Structure 1
């Protein structure tokens, strides 16, 4: 077979995993380093493009689906696809794929690391010692973790693995996820609750929600006011699920005790007052990363394209409305 894949942003040290997959299938890969929709269209205009391989930094808008004739698939690195106009993709009959299972171990472990770091004030103690101090009382009061309530916002693959890993801590675990049944949560020893009850009951809260219209800024001023004033809040999902001005206010006014975030509304967070806040830990969108997960992500994203170009059904079709018999209605 033959075909051409347009790779947009260059976000990994190399494209070796993708090139190997494509070479074995006789597919040419063109790495553009495109940083905007316009650059994608300019690159596509110079060559026939059958597929796009993209990360989350560029909007794949209706313009892309409309102007690139013969586009057969868009494959997204990672889990989130909020940067892709799925309605337009479906309208033009273009399958969109993602890789929803590549970093379950990494993200669940990273969320736990942030929770425990906040709960034991590890970063604050380390900074104090680095500044010449040696005083355990500066972080009083710290509470025993056993028996505390852990609130898990969303209950997909990653939070389920997180709950399994935390089993030995003897937390009381509650979760809010309208799409997961009470019986499924019960299999993991988790109690299903509404969002407000989770906020008000939990000592520690970890967010794993996808970004959509319902979850945008779901953690707003009211949400943080509903939390306990000694609550710990962690987010490893999408930065936009948090109203950062509300989080800053909650931390500044001691409405919650501490936060740990791996994602920000704008990345990098230039000018964000959260960066200088003392009771927050910020990591640079690194929760997904290990050498193994990075290779798996690149390989699987490429494999999805090969499947579609070979006339096979992809493993991870996002716009599931599409079938083999879908006709394009424009």
Structure 2
């Protein structure tokens, strides 16, 4: 009996032990690859039945060359590496892992908020340069009764809202897709994007990267923010217009930023952010803990197994319209 071929298009882990554990089946052949370009993905995945994908481009061009593919699962939440319309047209299920790092990212975001509020990174750098003087951090404001504005109000920012409430922060959010009762249950007011920018002392970005959200935080939004406000981004770099942010920081119309993501990763050595004292940077690590990494990789592999071994739609199906083109069994654990 022919084996299902499952190709890992690319990965940045030490091994594939979690994927191998889930897909350890006589009907599956797991094939590792390290693709960076469309051409490399086509060569590696042309005859794949399933694909596990991290950063390699699964574009329309790639998808049109796939001869047998039935499922593509993206490590993580965002699916911006995959042309969803092209996959749907070909009857390919696309899945992700939307719930593996809710605590990690909300914790990391909170850490960045506290870093900017108390100016920890700035103070640390000054002390190490021989400046033992709290005045280098002035002004610092009390956190209680200040406002956190959330751009996007999915699972991660909802968890963040729960975590900051005991600190005395007021929380408002912009998300046109979240029902008001969901926000009200957490004591969060849903408002316009303009109001989030205008009222907030910290604006934290949690929107996925789509055609709709690319550049969502641009010049207009940054100009609406308070001069003493901070921008936090732990979602995707291109959701924020980097040139507009650099301009705002240089003009002093914004107090600073804390960024776990960049428009281009890794960030280039001559990027202006690297020389800005008002910017705190981390290397796209908000998602990471040992536990979250195992959970993400195992759940991604289960998404492939759902389709190939069980004949079910994957639990975390993203392109739901594919059900009009391919008939599989319902997944009892569907997200």
Task: Give the 3-state SS of the residue equivalent to 1:175 in structure 2.
Answer: strand
Task: Give the 3-state SS of the residue equivalent to 1:316 in structure 2.
Answer: coil
Gaps of 5+ in 1: none
Task: Give runs of aligned pairs for residues 206-217 of structure 1, distance below 5 A.
Answer: 206-217=204-215
Q: Matched residues in 1 for 2:43 and 2:27: separation?
A: 24
Residues 1:11 and 2:9 aligned together: no
Per-residue CA shift, 1:89-135, capped at 9, x if unaligned?
A: 00000000000000001000001111110110000000111011100
Q: Matched residues in 1 for 2:325 and 2:211: separation?
A: 30
Task: Give runs of aligned pairs for residues 186-265 of structure 1, distance below 5 A.
Answer: 186-265=184-263
How much is the aligned-residue C-alpha RMSD, in angstroms?
A: 1.3
Task: Give the 3-state SS of the residue equivalent to 2:115 in structure 1.
Answer: helix
Shift of 1:25: 6.1
Decide whether the 8 Å contact of 2:41 with 2:56 is kept in 1. Answer: no
Task: Give the 3-state SS of the residue equivalent to 1:308 in structure 2.
Answer: helix
Decide whether the 8 Å contact of 2:71 with 2:93 is kept in 1. Answer: yes
Per-residue CA shift, 1:114-170, capped at 9, x if unaligned?
A: 111011000000011101110001111100000001101111000000011112112
Which contiguous aligned blocks of 4+ residues in structure 1 show a shift greater than 6 angstroms?
none
Per-residue CA shift, 1:155-190, capped at 9, x if unaligned?
A: 100000001111211211110000112221110000
Decide whether the 8 Å contact of 2:256 with 2:278 is kept in 1. Answer: yes
Partner of residue 315, structure 2: 315
Residues 1:171 and 2:172 aligned together: no
Task: Give the 3-state SS of the residue equivalent to 1:321 in structure 2.
Answer: helix
Of stretches 267-276 and 280-289 in structure 1, the one that deviates more from structure 2 is: 267-276
Decide whether the 8 Å contact of 1:150 with 1:173 is kept in 2. Answer: yes
Task: Give the 3-state SS of the residue equivalent to 1:215 in structure 2.
Answer: coil
Task: Give the 3-state SS of the residue equivalent to 1:70 in structure 2.
Answer: coil
Q: Matched residues in 2 for 1:193 and 1:128: separation?
A: 38
Decide whether the 8 Å contact of 1:260 with 1:282 is kept in 2. Answer: yes
Residues 1:22 and 2:20 aligned together: no
Decide whether the 8 Å contact of 1:307 with 1:314 is kept in 2. Answer: yes
Q: How many residues align?
A: 324
Shift of 1:68: 1.6
Decide whether the 8 Å contact of 1:25 with 1:306 is kept in 2. Answer: no
Shift of 1:70: 1.2
Per-residue CA shift, 1:239-285, capped at 9, x if unaligned?
A: 00111111111111111111100000000111321111110001000
Shift of 1:63: 2.1
Task: Give the 3-state SS of the residue equivalent to 1:146 in structure 2.
Answer: coil
Q: Matched residues in 2 for 1:191 and 1:44: separation?
A: 46
Partner of residue 161, structure 1: 159
Partner of residue 117, structure 1: 115
Shift of 1:78: 0.5
Residue 223 and residue 293 in structure 1: after superposition, are their counterparts in 2 closer, same or farther (change >3 A)?
A: same
Q: TM-score, normalised by structure 2?
A: 0.94
Q: Matched residues in 2 for 1:247 and 1:82: separation?
A: 22
Residues 1:279 and 2:278 aligned together: yes
